Amino acid sequence: MSDDLKVMDGQVVSMDYSLHIDGELVDTSEGREPLDYLHGAGNIIPGLESELDGMAVGESKSVIVTPAAGYGEHDPNAYMDVPRREFPGEIPMEIGAELQLQDQSGNPMYARIDEIKEDTVRLDFNHPLAGKELHFKVTIMGIRQPTDEELSHGHAHHGHEH
């Protein structure tokens, strides 16, 4: 394994990361395995992926990702009022509760309860991190060639022997 590998499209990159939003830690790989992803395949948000180009193993970087390059701007139209009686009983009626729905094509969509009124429930379809500036601290832990299977699937697989 050569030490002069750099992060580039088509490599499986293993990284430790932490994500802070508004000064608060919201996600980290600390205490878990590093995150493996296939660079250039859109496995991670574009604003982070582009900043990791050319990094070497052992290198660290702080990256600030704007909403547009992250989870998108907050969309004021991404709300929907649903009659309360159409709600499944197992979903807790509380602000912030998450639910998974399907769009017309059967693809999963996620929404959070934004407001509860007497007859209707307002759902927010924005990604929870939409409109947020993302502050990542990243350390590259490893870089390797993907397996044929990983390339054909378009993402990294975990626990592969080399």
Domains and CATH numbers, the chain: 12-71+131-153 (3.10.50.40), 79-124 (2.40.10.330)
pLDDT digits (tens, 9 = 90+) for 36-61: 999 999 999 999 999 999 999 999 99
In Å, how far from its chain's centre is CA 122? 24
- Residue among 43, 11, 39, 34 nearest 138 (CA): 34
Q: What length is written for the chain?
A: 162
Q: What is the pLDDT of residue 158?
A: 74
Cβ distance 6 to 56 under 8 Å? Answer: yes
- Residue among 81, 60, 59, 69 nearest 125 (CA): 81
- pTM of the prediction? 0.79
More confident residue, 117 or 89: 117
Residue 46, SS3? helix
